[in-house]
Amino acid sequence: MRSKQKDPVVLTFDHGPIGYLSIAAHGHADALSIWLSVGDQPVIVDAGTYLYHSSRDLRDLFRDTAVHNTLRLDGIGSSRPSGPFNWGSKANTRLISSEDTPVARIVAEHDGYLAQCGVKHQRTVEFDGSSRFTIIDELLEGPTDRRATVSFLLDPACRSTVDPDRCGVSITCKDLQIIRIVSAGPLRPRVVRGDEATELGWFSPSFGIRLPTDQILFEGHLDGPSTITIGLLKSVTMPRRRETSA
C-alpha cells in the first residue's frame, strides 16, 4: 500500500508462506507482519538475521514472533523453530480478500495459534490513500480472552514517546515528529530499547551486528478486536539522504 505523493509512504503487509519451500528454510515467525517507510526513511522495520550458529538462543530470538511487527499470543510464537534453520511447527497463512476501492483493504489470517490456543489470528489492514493506516487484529474460532502483544520495531534513526494517556505513541525521526500510533482497543503501549534481560529492542542491519532500537509493544488481554491506527502527519516531508561516492 502506498500514497501518491512524490516521496510516498509505503506499507508492506506480509501474508505469504513462512520461509522457503516445505522446510521453510531461512524463514522467520513473522506471519502477518507489516513494514512502513516514509519517503526513503525506513520507520517500522524487520529485525534482521544477526547470527546463524554462534548463539542458538539469539538465532531463535531473531526468528521469533516477539521481535516482528505482528501479534504474539500468550507469550508463544506463531511458528516455533527446531534447530538453526528448521521448524517444529509452521503457521499457514491465507489471503482472504484484497480490494482497492473505495478504501484499500487487505484481510489475511494464519493458523499458528490454533493447536496451542484454539484460535486463528486474522489481520485487516486498511489505507485511506493519504495518511492513515488502520490495523485490526482479531482472534477467531475459539476463546478470545487472551494475553496479546502487538509489536512495532523501529529503525534506529527513529525514537518513540508514549503519550501521557498511554493510548498512543509518537515517533520522531531527524527531529521531526512524523507518525503517531494509537490503540483504540484493549491494548496499551510501552517501549523497550536494547533490553538485555528480554533481548527485545534490537535491530540487526547486517550479519553479526546488533544495534539497540525502540520496540513499541501494545499489550493487554484481547477479548475483542484490537484496532491500531498509524497516522502520518501530513505536513511532514522527510529530508532526503545524501548521496555518497566511493
Grid coordinates belonging to 157:
534513526
CA atoms within 13 A on the CB side of 48: 20
DSSP secondary structure letters along 109-129: EE-TTHHHHS-EEEEEEEE-S
Note every long-range contact of 99-104, with CB atoms under 8 Å and residues 24 or more positions apart, other chains counting: 103/127, 103/128, 103/129, 104/1, 104/129
C-beta separation of 224 from 144 below 8 A: yes
Beta strand pairing call for 176-183 and 211-212: unpaired
Mean pLDDT of the chain: 88
pLDDT of residue 245: 47
Beta bridge partners of 161: 170
CA pair distance 139, 145, nearest whole angstrom = 9
Give the model confidence (pLDDT) of 15-67 as tens digits.
Answer: 998 877 777 777 889 999 999 999 989 999 999 887 766 666 777 778 899 99
Give the model confidence (pLDDT) of 180-237 as tens digits.
Answer: 999 998 899 999 999 999 989 999 998 888 999 999 999 999 988 999 999 997 545 5
Taking alpha carbons only, the member of 49, 50, 40 closest to residue 8 is 40
Torsion of CA 11, 15, 20, 23, to 10 degrees: 140
What percent of the chain is predicted at pLDDT more than 90? Answer: 60
The pTM assigned to this predicted structure is 0.90
Grid coordinates belonging to 32:
502477518
Residue 106 has pLDDT above 90, yes or no: yes
CA pair distance 133, 86, nearest whole angstrom = 34
Beta bridge partners of 91: none
